[in-house]
Amino acid sequence: MKICIQNGRVIDPASQLDIDNNVYIEDGRIVAIAEDLAGFDADIEIDAYNKIVCPGLVDLSARLREPGQEHTATIESETRAAAAGGITTLAVPPDTDPVIDTPAVVELIEDRAKKAGRTMVLTIGALTQKLNGELLAEMAALKAAGCVGVSNGVSEIKNTVVWRRALEYAATLDLTVFINAADPWLQKQGSVHEGTVSARLGLSGIPESAETIAVSRDLILIEQTGVRAHFHSLSTGKAVKLIREAQERGLPVTADVSAHHLHLCEHDLGNYDSFSHVMPPLRGVRDREQLKQGLRDGVIQAVSSHHQPLDADAKLGPFAETTPGLSALETLLPLTLKLVEDDEITLHQAIASLTCQPAAILGIDAGQLKVGASADICIIDADVQYDCQPSSFISAGKNSPFGGWLFQHQVSHTLFQGKVVYQRSA
């Protein structure tokens, strides 16, 4: 199969490329980025005039609900949604059911993903068995089975001794540890940010110290153990500051932020809008600005979806009783590029934070447009105006607070391993 993507604006942040050109694909790989390729007889021509051609997106955290909650969503349904969101690689956290703490679960997920064939699904293995926070998981076996890192998901490791040993063991195996930093006691007492909105609505608050205490503790142990670590979904400005200082000290730490934390804050809770119930909670306006600053400065390297599809019932109830999380695969790209529309970050920063930078965190060869690389490509319409309509999401989860938001950027095609896996209908 030969494909030619014609006349697009080809942007590859990894190689600093930004040029109007054609991209030639053969046998699933990029064979040339050029004005012309003699003798290339394309089976499919894709007109990308006035469109951006960039690497397929790499998402550091998306829950697909399989295995364990197939009634909510499946690998089949969610990889379809990922393709529609321009995502060609995604990592799933270990908190499936059963937990990703044995090679068998890794194989099951990879098999199902291969069968779906729309996006690369990578697994992050469990740090402790069943994520119980007590006994170390068989990380060497998980690594051999293909896990790109280890994590305890959102389950806490209360015992500092276990936490230290887990980090040491991961360091021994040269595995990156992915951390959702939250002090369990401070976090569990609330459902929203502790601040003006929690005071007004009478909802129990989660103070910013829930995050900063955990990040501080973790940074000290990262320094002591020498492990490479990544912080998922920062929510507070103070945590950004702590990580900035750690990076300046030379610690091997990276961080991501969810697209929704870059756009929403505590005030978006409005009148108990359960779609804005997320964990970590939406913080103050100042936190949101400091997260953007962190992204601009490179303290935060990646924007991730933190996709959590839920069924309709999960959001139907009094606020604190609803399940936190939002369906985010299909809004990751338009929300991140909205920051470009708003002059918050440059187009190159935006695309880098969605492609080569998260790929580097996962330690994989993806997120780049280079000759010889797998043809994982996202083609973006850069100047369309459309209302976000969660009810027409491809994902099984329609739980999004962005309904009615006006977006300008839209995925028009997604190519995975040289195959067109998504094409927007006209």
Partner 1 sequence: MQSNQLTESGQLRHFLTIEGLKRPLLTEIMDRAEQFSSISHRQVKKVPLLRGKTIINLFFENSTRTRSTFELAAKRLSADVMNFNISTSATSKGESLLDTLHNLEAMHTDMFVVRHDQSGAAEFIAQHVAPHVSVINAGDGCHAHPTQAMLDMFTIRRHKQDFANLRVAIIGDLLHSRVARSQIQALATLGVGEIRVIGPQTLLPRDSHTLGVHVYHDMASGLKDVDVIITLRLQLERMQGALLPSAREYFRCYGLTEEKLKYAKPDAIVMHPGPINRGVEIASSVADGPQSVILEQVTHGIAIRMAVMSMALASQSEQAEIE
Residues that bind partner 1 (CB under 8 A): 194-196, 198-205, 207, 270-273, 313, 315-322
Which CB sits closer to partner 1, 245 or 273?
273
Beta strands in 180-231 (DSSP E): 192-193, 205-206, 229-231
CA distances from 231 to 120, 154, 202, 310 (A): 22, 12, 30, 24
Which CB sits closer to partner 1, 194 or 256?
194
The structure tokens listed for 89 are 């690689």
Q: Which residues of 193-205 are buried (b: 16+ CB within 10 A; e: fewer)?
A: bbbebbeeeebeb
Q: How far is the CB of 273 from partner 1 (least distance, A)?
A: 8
The Cα 61–Cα 358 span in angstroms is: 10
Q: How far is the CB of 270 from partner 1 (least distance, A)?
A: 7
Beta strands in 298-383 (DSSP E): 302-304, 377-381
Which CB sits closer to partner 1, 42 or 320?
320
Count CB-CB contacts under 10 A for residue 228: 20
Which CB sits closer to partner 1, 315 or 338?
315
- What single DSSP character describes residue 165? H
Count CB-CB contacts under 10 A for residue 310: 24
- What single DSSP character describes residue 176? P
Which CB sits closer to partner 1, 118 or 288?
288
Q: How far is the CB of 274 from partner 1 (least distance, A)?
A: 8
Residues 6+ apart with CB under 8 A from 104: none
Q: How far is the CB of 329 from partner 1 (least distance, A)?
A: 24
- What single DSSP character describes residue 27? T
Q: How far is the CB of 310 from partner 1 (least distance, A)?
A: 12
Which CB sits closer to partner 1, 159 or 204?
204
Which CB sits closer to partner 1, 36 or 313?
313
The structure tokens listed for 99 are 């937990």
Which CB sits closer to partner 1, 13 or 397?
397
Check whether the bond before 318 is cis (ω within 30° of 0).
no
Q: How far is the CB of 229 from partner 1 (least distance, A)?
A: 30
Q: How far is the CB of 407 from partner 1 (least distance, A)?
A: 22
Q: How far is the CB of 236 from partner 1 (least distance, A)?
A: 14
Which CB sits closer to partner 1, 106 or 206?
206
Q: How far is the CB of 302 from partner 1 (least distance, A)?
A: 31
The Cα 203–Cα 206 span in angstroms is: 10
Q: Which residues of 254-272 are buried (b: 16+ CB within 10 A; e: fewer)?
A: bbbbbbbbbbbbbeebeee
Do the beta carbons of residue 235 and residue 261 sit within 8 Å?
Answer: yes
Q: Which residues of 47-82 are buried (b: 16+ CB within 10 A; e: fewer)?
A: ebeebbbbbbbbbbbbbbbbbebeebbbbbbbbbbb
Which CB sits closer to partner 1, 117 or 270?
270
Q: How far is the CB of 160 from partner 1 (least distance, A)?
A: 21
